[in-house]
Structure 1
Amino acid sequence: MRFRRTLSAILSLFALVPLTGCWDRTELNEISIVVGLGIDRIGDTYHISVQIVNPAEVTPKSNTGSRLAPVVTFEQEGKTLPDAIGRMSVLSPRRLQFSHLRMVVIGEQTARQGLRKPLDYLSRYAEMRNDFYLVVAKNRPASDILKVYSPMDPIPANNLYTKLQNSDKQWAATSMMTLNELLLDMETEGASAFMTGIQIAGGGSEAAGAGAQQQIAPSRNLEYSGTAMFDKDRLVGWLDEQGTKAINYVTDSVKWTVGYLRCPDNGRASVELFNTHAKVKVRGSNKDDLSIHAYVTIEQDISDIECNLDMTKESTVKWFDQATNKKVSGIIRTTVRDSKKRLGIDVFGFGRQVHRQHPKIWHQIKDWNETYKDVPVYVHVDTTTRRIGTTQQSVTHQTSKGG
């Protein structure tokens, strides 16, 4: 009996060991929360920027007279990323905490030199979660981006994070890219990695300033623009808005977007595109007779008509279907030509489909990007107009008929 009691006491002590969880706690006033990270490389030196939250300035408080910045950006250099981040200790009064990282911005020149080393560090650092987004600073270093205030959010990195999410859902010209997705695309044969570009819009001379938050029309703002295309880990060129839309159509990544059509009388009509779906079929018996067929189905609503069209006619609705078919297929075909001639890479990931659908043929191909240049790509778009709006006729048609 005494043995059982002793054994029970010992087991109870062991059971209490996992409950002592406060021994390694970290207080908020001991850390600096990093929400934005900028990576630039100058020669053989890394130039790192970190955007840190000032907790006292982003929480409700009674001291409305404070003029401290809601975020602070520190910059440091080092031979490696860990070296540069370690040197931040001479600038930051607290230990850097990366678990709430929202955005990683990479300078364009750094992206052209190759991202394998910095991405290796980001993937190995256990403190970083993988839910942040990566973007490329267009025509400038990443540090410039992290110095610009947000007119709508006291924390610029959070503003960029939510802005990219909203744009991805409501506009087909941007793409959210996480670390795991980027690494997968870089390592997958027959696919090309890509990231949304970001630039500073506006003519203001200052990159930052607390007064920017109180301006009705800010002199500078951050906007997403274009897509950076990579061959393995190196940036090789940019796609514009139309090229980005083409990628999203073919890769089945369009959730909802809006576009316009040129009417027969040179007016314009706006359409909302939704329920888009895409499939890629690869046909051929060997690597010399491969052909790729991209099938895209779209549903659309007519949201605005600024031309003289009679909406009571079934032929008018069919015209909208055909006009959207022509425009979307034209965007995709143009991007296919651009990817073959200018970029020299498969931006759509067609090679990945060749690998999946015809593995035997795939193993005959030594260099897919070279093979892709001679593979014909056929685009098939099928659009269905669902709704024309609550007003049957356009104002332009009613005015013309009344006159």
Structure 2
Amino acid sequence: MKKVFASLVIGVVLASSIVMEADASVKQSIYSDLSMNNTFYEAVYSMNMKEVLEAEYTNEGKVLIDSAGIVTRGEAAFMLYMLLGMEPDTNKSFPDVKPDSPYYEAVSTIASLGYVNGFEDGTFRPEVELTRSQMTRILSGAFNYSVNTNVTVPFTDVNERWAPYVDAVYRNGVTKGVTATSFAPDKKLTRGEMSAFMHRAYKKVNGSTYNDFEVMNSVNEATRKTRILMIQGLEKYFPNQKAVDIKGDLSELVMEPYLSQALKGYETSCYNCDSANVVPDFQFGLPYKVVAKTDSILKVDATVPSNGINSGHRATIEIVRSGDSWKIKSYIVRSFKENPLKLTIEQAIDYLSFAIPLYYQNEVNSIQHTGKEPRFGLDLFLVNGKDQYIFNVNTGELTDYYPVN
């Protein structure tokens, strides 16, 4: 399975810094260009929290999701590839999607699986905008819908070529069309619309069929939404936050016994400091194990690394399906003192090859273990023959190294 590492700050960056007047809810849009009243907000929010849909962070502190932007063929391939945690398959390639393209793995994989074709000249044209009819074919394949020929659809503007795929997504409740009799097959698809189609389709997928990557995505979404809500509550009621201020909103995301645990943490939280007691991101490049996986329960053992400011930990988190969403039920912490990671040097190098580009924006071409750092006795790694990093194999803490002369 491909490795993707989520930023530990996602959610903290996204939470708005606007303090509102007291009302019954602390929830507000995390996007500068999308209101919570927008039809596509929940779908976009879900896809973004899963890192399926990417946001842009501006120097002015705005978070832009561009839900009205048109989806390209390359973007659509990437979104489905990420949502479903597909195993990379590059047997099928296209001359206009090079290995250094951000869409290469995604396009090659969904093409290898037969979910999408290229054009007659052998190209894929990743920058071409996706239409609603093309979307139906991709989704039908990705979600394993039965596709029947000689079908009749209620939409008068759908021709024989696309009718089987439109019928498949229509039968599975992914779309109702633009009107009762119109599907608008040639209409270009927006990011919001694509998110909505995927969101509706994915809500019907049974948890017992999730692969490890999908489990990770579900845990990420649950923890990030919880963190964002708690931070919004801190912003709104600082310095006099009370559990009752967010209990109603939080109950939509978590259940007992974690609800009481989270509310207690909220009351003792600190705003404008680095140790706010809110649920963090796991780092799935560190030891990660799926403990239970059914249609109604997902449970994982995972790691929150230390980061020089906050002490990390190992934890078991259980999320439970409630309707169409997953809620956090329990979160049991285990300290590194009692349960150190004990990574081997090989495991550390494997992790660092992904963590260093994520946290330090430093492309990794080579990593060499060069022994122990003299001050703390931690392991020292040389990257690209010039940059040095200290890594704690027991806590996952990673820092750059500046030797003392």
With normalisation by structure 2, the TM-score equals 0.24
Say which structure is richer in helix: 1
With normalisation by structure 1, the TM-score equals 0.24
Larger radius of gyration: 1
